[in-house]
Amino acid sequence: MSKEIPLVWLAGSACTGCSISLLNSASPTIKNILIDEIVPGVHINLRFHQTIMAGAGAQVVKVLEDTAREKKGNYVLAVDGAIPTANGAAYGAMGERDGKPVSLEDRFVELARDALAVLAIGTCAAFGGIPAAAPNPTNCQPLSKVLESKGISKPLVNIPGCPPHPDWIVGTIGSILLNGLPTAADLDDNLRPLAFYGKLIHENCPRRAYFDEGKFAQKPGDEGCLYELGCKGPITYADCPIRRWNGGTNWVIGAGAPCNGCTQPEFPDLVAPLYQKLVDIELPTIGAYWAAGKEAK
């Protein structure tokens, strides 16, 4: 008998890009994730996802509420998007209760309270991201802040990126299924899995040699390091250079564009202007891990 891992996916103040990125998972495919035993003997049961599910309206809200009750303490809650909290959380609602809209904040808090663990999918859920950018018109908060303000203590894993690479999402879920919830040693200070976010873009960048030799591109299409065109690779933790995107087809710097730092808590305000050279940054060198006495991951 295959073991069920119930999964509920709630969209907050989001653009659905994280879900579309997950659809791009190459191996396993999204069909494998939704239909097959993702690891032997275990399958994910995606009970709620607004963009995919067949039903609509009250019948699917019931699924959401039933799952929280019937699978209390056993379901994984994935959230893409930040949580709008301004004006009594009036800027986002999903489904009704007693004829009144239920705010996204209330939905999230109710679901998080009884979840086994919470996955913050994408930079908005993890750090606030674009909707929380200045002046943060709807006072969007990352999941961690909302949990903290409500006094809810839950295992939380941040899987940032705008959007995250599908491997980061699938790999994190797969790791939970195979090895259980991540421990503190598996995550960095920003609760990101070190397996995917352990090194700087700059450390693995194929244009790194140009940087070391001081050869910088002056406009798009040029050879050379993109540092002067605003590349945020030197301060951005992610494995894009070696993993590459869309089934390994290409990646940002491969297309001649500077990294904009989208996996970082600083995205977008503190890495903007996005096409301007970083200033006042102490750049790490290759091997910074050893220098800091840390083990290389």
Partner 1 sequence: MGKIVIDPVTRIEGHLKIEAIVEGGVVKEARSTGNLFRGFELILRGRDPRDAQVITQRICGVCPQSHGVAATLCLDSAFGVADKIPDNGRIMRNLIQGAHIAQDHILHFYHLAALDYVDVTDVAKYEGNDSDLNSIKDFIGRGELGPFFPRYEGDYRLPPEVNQQAVAHYVKALEIRRMGHEMVSIFSGKIPHSVGIVPGGVTSTPTVDNILAFLWKLRRLQDFINNVYIPDVLAVAGFYGDYAEIGTGCQNLLSYGSFDLVGSDPDYARRKRLFKQGTVSADLKFNELDLGKITEDVGHSWYRDSSSGRHPADGETSPEPGKEKAYSWTKSPRYNGKVYEVGPLARVAVTYAGGDPTMKGLVESSLAQLKAPASALFSVLGRHLARALSAKFIADSLEKWVLELKPGEPTFVEYEIPEEGRGVGITDAARGALGHWIEIKDKKIANYQCVVPTTWNVSPKDDKGNPGPIEQALIGTKVKDENNPFELVRIVRSFDPCLACSIHVVTPKGRDLAQYRIA
Q: Which of residues 35-94 bind partner 1 (CB under 8 A)?
A: 35-36, 43, 45-63, 84, 87, 90-94
Verify binding: residue 104, partner 1, rule CB under 8 A.
Answer: yes
Please identify, using beta-carbon distances, which residue of 16 and 74 lies nearer to partner 1: 16
Please identify, using beta-carbon distances, which residue of 158 and 182 lies nearer to partner 1: 158
Residue 151 burial (10 A CB sphere; 0-12, 13-18, 19+): exposed
Contact with partner 1 (CB under 8 A): which of 41, 101, 206, 287? 101
Judged by CB under 8 A, the stretch of 108-116, 173-181, 272-280, 282-290 that binds partner 1 is 272-280
DSSP output for 268-284 = TGGG-STTS---S----
CA nearest neighbour of 143 among 162, 110, 175, 119 = 119
Scan residues 181-240 and list those touching partner 1 (CB under 8 A). Answer: 219-221
CA separation for the pair 142, 96 (Å, rounded): 24
CB of 162 to partner 1, least distance (A): 6
- CA angle at residue 159 from 16 to 111, to 5 degrees? 70
Reduced to 3 states, what is the DSSP secondary structure of residue 83? strand
Judged by CB under 8 A, the stretch of 13-21, 181-189, 197-205, 206-214 that binds partner 1 is 13-21
Please identify, using beta-carbon distances, which residue of 128 and 198 lies nearer to partner 1: 128
CB of 138 to partner 1, least distance (A): 6
Please identify, using beta-carbon distances, which residue of 7 and 186 lies nearer to partner 1: 7
Please identify, using beta-carbon distances, which residue of 54 and 296 lies nearer to partner 1: 54
Size of the site for partner 1 (CB under 8 A): 86
Verify binding: residue 17, partner 1, rule CB under 8 A.
Answer: yes
CA separation for the pair 288, 290 (Å, rounded): 5
For residue 132, give every residue at least 6 positions away whose Cβ sits within 8 Å of its Cβ, in sequence order, or none. 82, 124, 140, 141, 142
Verify binding: residue 279, partner 1, rule CB under 8 A.
Answer: no
What's the length of the chain? 297
Q: How many CB atoms lie within 10 A of CB 269?
A: 12
CA nearest neighbour of 82 among 13, 135, 20 = 13
Contact with partner 1 (CB under 8 A): which of 72, 74, 250, 290? 250
The secondary structure element, H or E, covering residue 45 is strand 42-48
Please identify, using beta-carbon distances, which residue of 18 and 186 lies nearer to partner 1: 18
Judged by CB under 8 A, the stretch of 130-138, 141-149, 198-206, 289-297 that binds partner 1 is 130-138
CA separation for the pair 104, 187 (Å, rounded): 27
Please identify, using beta-carbon distances, which residue of 59 and 74 lies nearer to partner 1: 59
Contact with partner 1 (CB under 8 A): which of 142, 160, 163, 241? 163
Verify binding: residue 179, partner 1, rule CB under 8 A.
Answer: no
- CA atoms lying within 13 Å on the CB side of residue 37: 8
